[in-house]
Homo-oligomer: A and B are copies of this chain.
Amino acid sequence: MESSSASRYTTVADVARLAQVSKAQAARALGGYGAVSDEVRSRVLAAAETLQYHPNELARSMNTGRSKTIGVVVGDIENPYFSLAMRGIYDTSKAGGFDVILINTGEDLATEIDAVNVLLDKRVDGMIVAPVTRSSSTHLNRVVDSGRPVVLLDRKLPSLPVDSVVAEMRQVSYEATRHLLDEGHTRVGYISSLDVGGVEFTVDLDLGTNPVTERLAGMRRAFDEADVPLPADLIRLGAGKQYSIGDLVQALVTGPDPATAIVASDSVIALEALAELQRAEVRIPDDVSFLMFDELPWAGLMTPPITVVAQPVYDQGVAAAAILLRRIGGDRSEPEHLALPSRLIRRGSVAPVGSAVVGASA
């Protein structure tokens, strides 16, 4: 009794029957391969039309071994960074005739491992992964072993011989920090969601290979060149994981030797930090200067407009997909490591230190 007839799909066999030819001939006419007479072809095509035939991609994938699908594994699709990168990936894949399966990891390693396995089991032709920070790469090795191409996004894993696409960060972070130093900021706070398991930041903590490490390296170089000690006590990791962003911001702007400038590692952090600053009635840039990584449409519309480091996010997606498609196409050359240029956009949220303190508090 269970259910009413689940309306079976029409198959090549059905088409063949109606067209009065063998299954093989029908398949040939439909697939456009082998030799088929015009007579048969038109009969088969007509039959397919009347029967509304659509090939079962699953069956097709199974014995061609290729699914014309790529998998994308990201940390959080809700994050504008990923959704924009996704758009780049999507547009490029589609232009190449590939569909996209999206998997969201919630920045969790176990989920990421699972995601990669699922994609492999679904026989995607390749995948783009934005690996969770501090993830090991054993699960990605399985992909490499399977012979399917992987491209890493926003992160490279030194141990893994695969292509990667990141935004150049060290140089632009150096520039951004110099900008802050030029304005007199030596107490620069940095807030990142990088998960290091709650360990406190110290100058020689190994954070692995990721954008945050690069940014901190650029920052350090600027401080070193200016001969100013890097304010390690103001560099806070685990934001939004171990620690609330609001608390972190509070801690930075209060205390005996507070930060005079705050750098937000991404737009999600920036939003929460700005909200907290507003709640605490800390004015930007009068009381504290503010800089964020990632350029979003709203950044320039705030009062004051926010100074940002703009990364070519969409282009990263495009580049990653382009490389992946090339690999799927059979390119076996050495892994490529692309670093797309980022740039500092100076707006109004960074001002000389103490610029308005006297006038404003009086």
Interface membership of A3, Cβ < 8 A: yes
User: Looking at the complex, which of A50-58, A199-207, A232-240, A318-326 is the stretch in contact with chain B?
Assistant: A50-58
Are B102 and A100 closer than 8 Å at their CB atoms? yes
Which chain B residues border A104 with CB–CB below 8 Å? 87, 90-91, 94
Q: Which of A286-334 contact B (CB under 8 A)?
A: 296-298, 300-303, 330, 332
Are B300 and A301 closer than 8 Å at their CB atoms? no
* Number of copies of this protein chain within its complex: 2
Q: Counting chain B CB atoms within 10 Å of each CB, which of A55, A67, A102, A272 scores highest?
A: A102
A300 vs chain B, min Cβ distance (A):
7
Interface membership of A338, Cβ < 8 A: no
User: Looking at the complex, which of A31-39, A119-127, A157-165, A248-256 is the stretch in contact with chain B?
Assistant: A119-127
Question: How far, in angstroms, from A302 to B7 measured CA to CA in the complex?
Answer: 54
Question: How far, in angstroms, from A62 to B67 measured CA to CA in the complex?
Answer: 13
Q: Find the B residue at minimum CB distance from A115.
A: B99
Encode contact with B along A1-43: 1 for CB under 8 Å, 0 otherwise. Answer: 0010011010000000000000000000000000000000000
User: Looking at the complex, which of A76-84, A176-184, A187-195, A215-223 is the stretch in contact with chain B?
Assistant: A76-84
Are A99 and B99 closer than 8 Å at their CB atoms? no
Question: How far, in angstroms, from A91 to B78 measured CA to CA in the complex?
Answer: 12
Identify the A interface with B (CB < 8 A).
3, 6-7, 9, 52, 54-59, 61-62, 65, 67, 69, 76-78, 80, 83-84, 86-87, 90-91, 94, 99-104, 117-118, 120-123, 142, 145-147, 271-272, 274-275, 278, 296-298, 300-303, 330, 332
